[in-house]
Amino acid sequence: MENMKYTSLLVLFISFVIVNSGYAINKDSTALSVLNTPEEEIENDRPELFDLMFAEAKTFYVDALIAAHFNDTAEVKYCFDRGFEIMAGITELDTLSILQQDEFNRFYEKITFDFLEKFSYLNGDSGTYGAAFIKQELSESILDTVSLGSDTLLIVDDRPGHLPLIKSKRIDRIIEYFSKREKKRFQVWLNNSGLYKEHMMPILKEYGIPEELFYLALIESGYNPLAYSYAHAAGPWQFISSTGAIYGLKRNWWIDERRDPIKSTRAAAKYLKKLYDEFDDWFLALAAYNCGEARVWRAIRREGTRDYWKLRSLPKQTRNYVPTLMAGITIALDPEKYGFENNPADTWKWDEVIVDRSYEFEDIARFSGVSATVLKQYNPELRRWITPPESGEYTLRVPVGKGDGLSKKLSDIPAADKKPQWTTHTVRRGQTLSYIARKYGTSISALIAANNIRNKNQLRVGQVLKIPTSRYYASPTITTDKNLVTHKVKKGETLSEIAESYGTSISKIRSINNLYGKKFIYPGQKLKISAQKHQSDKYSTTPSGKTKVIHVVKKGETLSEIADAYRVGMSNVRAWNNLYGKKFIYPGQKLVIYKSMGS
């Protein structure tokens, strides 16, 4: 019964996605199923990159829904993160047709809505999407009761060289929202302000940016370098990729400088200065920072005013953007007045170490005495667990006191061990991205990102592609679980089914087998599984209040039906009879059941 419910649910999910999002992969079915075709016979029909990546994004969305059904929170988050990452990659393709853009927008709105409505718990108090969630919620409901026309503005402070501080009904509503409904999250953001204040303030001052705009990063990201929005903006200052590139922020498979608190602050200062020089008004400059210069100029021309507070044709989120910043500044300048603690975190301090080539975090951790996870926190621009292989020298940050002699220690690693062993593939005639991705157990979107492919014509015979492997998706981990078993994947099996049969989670299987970044498992593949500890030993004697019975399986019976008949859990039946990893029971099989007395 449970397997039937699972199958029905899966079909429902996939059907829902197909109906609502236009699942566009039929036109490219040859490319997507190419592993079943001999290499010499592959048709090189150059499928659209959009179709391939879009299909992957949808697959991750469906996987997230399935994982949610099994309460596998880590897997839900992984699938959404990968889905949003692929969607961001789609926006960087050279060209999208009107039809593709429309299809993309509809699906993007769908998963954003689902994430906000059903999975906002994944954000935590300082999560990746937390600031984006708040901005969305503010623009959609919190401020609807305050109309711009009825709001009275009061200038509280307007000193030269500073951002004018405003008080209004709308701003008061946002202050109330932060100090009551989102108090816990906002307190985390206020605490985070201490991490980078000493680093960011001098940069803002260098470019003549009012010191109050340090709190723009409070509203944009809660000072979380890994913050990401549904508009594909990233980092403390929430740059989209194209704007970040204009101001010197690189983004590729290995790094995303939008996430670096120092580099992104310098880029933000340059951009804000440019906007102020263009509009000669900080409120208009901030509006442009949110929605773009062109939209602000259109609103000014349409309404015949340069007063930000009167521009009603601006997007709703932009109309709320400056009031939200005003509320954030007001609280940050006197947190205790609004019920918050004034307890900023200690400033992050670090040593900078020049490394002369690419090193995996495992090696750096071994010689520095700092865990790979801490190294990632100090170097948030690094997208993989490795320093970039193509940058020559790289400046790595490590905690203060951990950098002494590190360069020398790393350079002394034997040459044979220095270079990370990633895979390369030379493209042969007739091969497609789908074929190459599936051959190496990676994803099309990962291939596209790792090799900076922007259009379908970039793939050519003789081209050498870097093949990203799972080691760059997840932190180096050592499995100490002594209850590991080996499972050989059967044809048609999915990670969800395997996880369910062993009483474990998809995310745990991914972690133990380093499957991050790999979409596919394949028949014959051997997976290490951390099965729930077999509980049969616990029941060598009949538990108190229970009666031991032997049930002989009848033809057509399922585990769920047997469990229901005895009013026990199906997982208990598996445990009592060591059924982990076995999908089927058979007629005549004897099962031990411990049922409650009197039932």
Classify domain 484-530 by CATH number.
3.10.350.10
Same-fold call for 130-338 versus 536-596: no
* pLDDT value of position 9: 52
Q: Which CATH architecture has domain 423-472?
A: Roll (3.10)
State how far the Cα of 583 lies from the Cα of 2, in Å rounded to an integer. Answer: 12
- 315 Ramachandran zone, left/alpha/beta (phi>0; psi -120 to 50): beta
* pLDDT value of position 442: 77
- The top-level CATH class assigned to 130-338 is mainly alpha
Coil, helix or strand for 490? coil
State how far the Cα of 288 lies from the Cα of 275, in Å rounded to an integer. Answer: 7
| Residue 63 half-sphere exposure toward CB, CA atoms < 13 A | 24
Residues linked to residue 547 through DSSP beta bridges, in sequence order: 595
43 is catalytic: no
Domain ranges of the chain: 130-338, 350-418, 423-472, 484-530, 536-596
Q: Which residues, including other chains, have CB under 8 Å from residue 228's CB and lie 6 or more apart? A: 84, 128, 129, 132, 234
* pLDDT value of position 535: 40
State how far the Cα of 332 lies from the Cα of 582, in Å rounded to an integer. Answer: 57
State how far the Cα of 550 lies from the Cα of 593, in Å rounded to an integer. Answer: 6
Residues constituting the chain: 599
Q: Name the pTM for this structure.
A: 0.69
For domain 536-596, is the CATH number 3.10.350.10? yes
| Residue 233 half-sphere exposure toward CB, CA atoms < 13 A | 20
List the chain pLDDT tens, one digit each, 599 residues.
Answer: 444 444 445 545 554 544 354 444 333 333 333 333 333 333 344 457 888 888 888 988 888 888 787 777 777 887 888 888 888 788 777 677 888 888 888 888 788 777 767 776 665 555 565 566 676 666 665 555 445 556 788 888 889 999 999 999 999 999 999 999 889 889 999 999 999 999 999 999 999 999 999 999 999 999 999 888 877 789 999 999 889 999 999 988 889 999 999 999 999 999 999 999 999 999 999 999 999 999 999 999 999 999 999 999 999 889 999 999 999 999 999 999 999 999 999 999 999 999 888 888 888 998 999 998 899 999 999 988 888 887 678 999 999 999 988 988 888 877 655 555 567 888 888 888 878 887 777 777 778 877 878 776 667 888 888 887 655 554 554 444 556 788 888 887 777 778 767 777 776 787 777 675 555 677 888 888 876 544 434 444 556 667 888 999 898 888 778 888 888 877 678 777 777 554 567 888 888 888 876 65
State how far the Cα of 553 lies from the Cα of 559, in Å rounded to an integer. Answer: 9
Q: Given the residues 212, 220, 381, 493, select the one marked as catalytic.
A: 220
